[in-house]
Amino acid sequence: MATASKKSSRKRKLTAEDLFKLRIMTSVSMDPSESRVAYCVERMDKKENKYFTNISLLDIKTGESAQFTHGDHVDSSPVWSPDGMTLAFVSTRNKKTGIYLMPVSGGAEKQIIELDGSISNLQFTPDGRHLVFGLRYNDSHSIKDEKEKKKAPVFRHVTRLFHRLDGLGYLPKDQFQVYALDVETGQLRKITKGKRENLFPALSPDGKLIAYMSNRSRDEDVDMLRNDLFVIPFAGGKERKIPTPPGPIYNPAFSPDGKKIAYIGHDNPDDAWAVTNYHVWTVGVSGRPKARDLMPSFDRMALDQSISDMADFHDAGTIRWSADGKRLYFASSDTGSTNLFYVSASGGRPTRVFGGKCHVKGFSISGKTRTAALIRSDLNNPGDLFTCPTTYGADKKARRHTDLNPFLRTEVKLGRTREVFFSSADGTRVQGWLVTPPDFSPRRKYPSILEIHGGPRTQYAFTFFHEMQFLAAKGYVVFYTNPRGGSGRGETWADAIAGGWGELDYMDCMAAADYLEKQRFINRRKMGVTGGSYGGYMTNWIIGHTDRFAAAVTQRSVVDLTSFFGSSDIGWALEREFDGTPWKNRDNYDKCSPIQYYQKVKTPVLIIHSENDLRCNIEQAQQMFVRLKRLGKKVEMVQFPEEPHGLSRHGRPDRRIARLNWLLKWFDRYLKG
């Protein structure tokens, strides 16, 4: 015991710069024989100040892993050839996007094609002779002169509401279409065409058909959830629409016998922001049997909605059929966890396969579908590769195959994180996590920070969060919670704030503050609050309605819903969230806009915002800064050039560290000064 205690005392605390040491697994791909797994690991390079990703291979039987691709590239989307002898992957080698082949037994990679565009849903045809994928060319793809490609256009002619996207900027004029690539010759063939995007291509088991989603509404931007399902012959020809209820459609997948197509979706095209549950649906390729929800009584999403600062993505609804066609596998978020489930192809209540208080960040099932490969994260681990059976109780039989971040266990003493439930003012039970400093003593009084998640339809979860541990290492008790309006607790929970932001969600946040104040080790006069995106909105709302917090940091936030409607890349979708447009329901937009209450602000506030944030445009931060400054309030602003909305999750490494240090600097000034 004495030896263990000495080892523990020698451990250091987590730092902001530890971001450079982290290795993040981003995807997994099981081979057809269920004997090997390809997985991608991302790292940050301090010298280059960039992210790089390489592919490794695991031999499940021996448990040995070996790096498969090397170099300062971004290698992603590994897919196995049908015979399991070759991996195809997408890479940014030569500073362009290319598709490469590499024999699993070793050897040099072969570039099949290099493209100036974006690639999605890469897959082999059953005979292994072609690759099928979605492709959207950049506007510069037809320009031959490299110097000319780098120049800004003379003008941009905008005709669509949806003409830009956070993280990508102004979208190319080209639309995603389905292509086939001859593996031997490198010949590229366009399969779909038209003025509308054709997304999520999926091949039938015999390779003769391709299913895909497309929005053919009169205005696909206004009716963005009215998607349709189509099939087209691989050889080319006329597409055929498969009847489905109006609603979103993600990631279609053919059944093993080729007679049905499964997809993730729902039948509420007028849904607010992600309130209606996305479920697993099936429909006959001929239209018979009709499309139906296999799990109508399951009050959870068939999506991963857990967030952390380890990646800027969510699983977009992966589904996999079992080899016998009797089950469909998917991930679902439930009360702070994301687990692996299956549902019977005949419908019914889903069965939890890999459960527990954890975050399944991605999974792959292939071949005879007896084994699943998955990325498992928890409160102390950003994610490692596990394999398990595809049956109930698989988590108890799972094998862990990697240890990507041993320093978090052997070198660093993390703060203790414990799950708590507390009651809101109306008796509603709210979930949260309390992180105490690594050298915590119950006899001391600590400053605290309440963290509020974005979305609002996401959830904090049993997953690793560097920011929370960093702040705890600096002497703060950190409390992060899942108030109403978020995900993981069903449709009623998610819908609770639709049309009325700043009501029940504010009540729950204040209940979280009440819970903190009641802890004997909390200094009630030194409580801070922060959040990003919708969490920034709630931070803005809080400082206009109470002065109980000694400091606030609002990040990538919303302050004026009316201007947000027009300045955000997807702001017009607020129409469904607030029961109309600002010109038809202005009173509600004003009532729910934090900027209307800033005469009352007493809390010192730091505004952190990225200059290229298209989701919550920087005009929101600038409005807030000018209003508060003009009113004589204590306010400062830090802007990050070039960065989009997701700075905290995947921004340039040095800027991520600077952001953390500004967060700390502000709270230290007012909570420790």
266-323 pLDDT per residue, tens: 999 999 989 999 999 999 999 999 999 999 999 999 999 999 999 876 666 899 999 9
Mean pLDDT of 216-243: 96
Res. 3: pLDDT tops 70: no
For 471, how many CA atoms within 13 A lie in the half-sphere containing its CB? Answer: 31
**Domain locations in the chain as residue ranges:** 294-412, 413-672
What is the C-alpha to C-alpha distance for residues 12 and 14, in angstroms, rounded to an integer?
A: 7
pLDDT value, residue 276: 97
Task: Report residue 122 as tokens.
Answer: 């890469």
The structure's pTM equals 0.96
Topology annotation, domain 413-672: Rossmann fold (3.40.50)
Mean pLDDT of 105-118: 91
Phi, psi (rounded to 5 degrees) for 554? -105, 130
Mean pLDDT of 478-486: 98
pLDDT value, residue 35: 97
Among candidate residues 325, 343, 214, the one with its CA nearest the CA of residue 278: 343
Among candidate residues 434, 531, 413, the one with its CA nearest the CA of residue 15: 413
Residues 6+ apart with CB under 8 A from 82: 32, 124, 126, 127, 128
For 4, how many CA atoms within 13 A lie in the half-sphere containing its CB? Answer: 1
What is the C-alpha to C-alpha distance for residues 315 and 299, in angstroms, rounded to an integer?
A: 19
142 band by pLDDT with thresholds 50, 70 and 90 = confident
Partners of 607 in the beta sheet?
A: 554, 637
51-91 pLDDT per residue, tens: 999 999 999 999 999 999 999 999 999 999 999 999 999 99
341-377 pLDDT per residue, tens: 999 999 999 999 999 999 999 999 999 999 999 999 9
Mean pLDDT of 227-240: 97
159-200 pLDDT per residue, tens: 999 999 999 999 999 999 999 999 999 999 999 999 999 999
Q: SS3 breakdown of the chain: % helix, strand, coil, rounded to 5?
A: 20, 35, 45
pLDDT value, residue 167: 93
Mean pLDDT of 427-432: 98
pLDDT value, residue 9: 65
pLDDT value, residue 2: 47
Task: Report residue 421 as tokens.
Answer: 């439930």
pLDDT value, residue 316: 63
198-214 pLDDT per residue, tens: 999 999 999 999 999 99
Task: Report residue 447 as tokens.
Answer: 């400053």
94 band by pLDDT with thresholds 50, 70 and 90 = confident
Residues 6+ apart with CB under 8 A from 162: 171, 220, 221, 224, 569, 570
CA dihedral 79, 83, 84, 86 (to 10 degrees): -70
57-67 pLDDT per residue, tens: 999 999 999 99
Instruction: Tell me the one-letter amino acid at 187.
Output: Q
> What are the residue ranges of helices labelled H in 142-253?
146-149
431-475 pLDDT per residue, tens: 999 999 999 999 999 999 999 999 999 999 999 999 999 999 999
1 band by pLDDT with thresholds 50, 70 and 90 = very low
How far lies 632's CA from each of 156, 554, 597, 605, 628, in Å?
A: 40, 18, 14, 12, 6
Q: Count CB atoms within 10 A of the CB of residue 284.
A: 15
Chain mean pLDDT for the chain: 95
Share of the chain above pLDDT 90, in %: 93
More confident residue, 462 or 94: 462
